């Protein structure tokens, strides 16, 4: 009985020594607001550390509000940290409207006990702007025209240099000079180029840029 009492007393003492504490070490955006077009993604980053003496779970939160104070974004993630351990949590927030959005990060012990917050007062750190539109495309061809390649020309799955190249048994990294085809779609503007969808006589079909500056990469075949 004496040993049991001592064990219980020690357990109570140890439990009383447990300290749950955390610190927000960094966050982003922080000092300067981030500007993003509607539809673009803004990474929200929160770095926290466990300042307590026990492994503990923490609830990380990020909140955004629009200029009228309405909720514009809410993110939550549970993490577990050992004493002295730190981690960075990233949420990808998609901007859905124009305007200024205030942001605040929070760390909670549970759903009712807040441990840390930054910035202390929500701050306008995300700015949504109108997307830039590509200029209306105009080119030297029209649908139905027969054209010919003048250079080793990339053929892509869509208009724009970020679109992958087509895959075809007769396509090996580019369409060589002198290959004819027919315009089946376009023009489209993307990445500073005017693009045409060409169906080549080799069976390859995809989007090609008509040229760059004074350079001509596709020419119309007479007749």
pLDDT tens per residue, range 74-132: 999 999 999 999 999 999 999 999 999 999 999 999 999 999 999 999 999 999 998 87
Is position 36 within any domain? Answer: yes
Residues 6+ apart with CB under 8 A from 190: 134, 159, 160, 161
Instruction: Answer yes or no: do 150 and 123 share one domain.
Output: no
Task: Quote the longest CA-to-CA distance of the chain.
Answer: 109
- Provide the domain count of the chain: 2
Instruction: Answer yes or no: do 27 and 125 share one domain.
Output: yes
Say if strands 114-129 and 34-37 run parallel, antiparallel, or are unpaired: parallel
Label residue 18 by pLDDT band (50, 70, 90). Answer: confident
- Of the candidates 129, 157, 188, which is a domain's last residue? 129
Instruction: Answer yes or no: do 201 and 112 share one domain.
Output: no
Dist CA 192 CA 161 (whole Å):
10
- If you count them, how many residues does the chain have? 223
Whether omega for the bond prior to residue 119 falls within 30 degrees of 0, making it cis, is yes
Instruction: Answer yes or no: do 176 and 100 share one domain.
Output: no
132 closest CA partner among 53, 85, 191: 191
Distances (CA, A) of 199 to 147, 167, 180, 213: 10, 14, 9, 24
Instruction: Answer yes or no: do 125 and 151 share one domain.
Output: no
* Distance from chain centroid for Cα 41: 4
Label residue 6 by pLDDT band (50, 70, 90). Answer: very low
Is position 168 within any domain? Answer: yes
Where in the sequence is the domain holding 172, given as residue range(s)?
Answer: 146-220
**Cβ(49)–Cβ(116) below 8 Å:** no
- Count CA within 13 A, CB hemisphere, residue 45: 11
Dist CA 29 CA 31 (whole Å):
7
CB atoms within 10 A of CB 171: 18
Query: What's residue 124's pLDDT?
Result: 95
Query: What's residue 82's pLDDT?
Result: 96
């Amino acid at each position: 009985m004496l040993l049991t009492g001592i064990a219980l007393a020690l357990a109570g003492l140890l439990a009383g020594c447990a300290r749950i504490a955390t610190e927000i070490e960094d966050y982003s955006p922080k000092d300067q607001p981030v500007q993003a077009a509607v539809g673009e993604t803004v990474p929200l980053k929160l770095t926290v550390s466990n300042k307590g003496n026990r492994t503990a779970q923490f609830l990380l939160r990020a909140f955004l509000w629009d200029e009228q104070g309405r909720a514009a974004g809410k993110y939550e993630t549970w993490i577990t940290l050992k004493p002295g351990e730190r981690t960075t949590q990233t949420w990808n927030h998609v901007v859905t409207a124009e305007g200024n959005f205030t942001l605040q990060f929070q760390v909670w012990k549970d759903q009712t006990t807040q441990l840390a917050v930054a910035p202390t007062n929500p701050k306008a750190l995300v700015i949504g702007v109108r997307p830039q539109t590509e200029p209306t495309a105009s080119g030297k061809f029209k649908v139905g025209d027969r054209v010919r390649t003048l250079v080793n020309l990339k053929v892509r799955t869509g208009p724009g240099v970020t679109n992958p190249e087509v895959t075809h048994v007769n396509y090996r990294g580019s369409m060589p000079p002198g290959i004819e085809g027919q315009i089946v779609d376009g023009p489209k503007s993307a990445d500073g180029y005017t693009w045409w969808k060409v169906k080549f006589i080799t069976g390859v079909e995809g989007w090609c840029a008509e040229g760059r500056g004074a350079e001509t990469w596709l020419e119309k075949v007479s007749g």
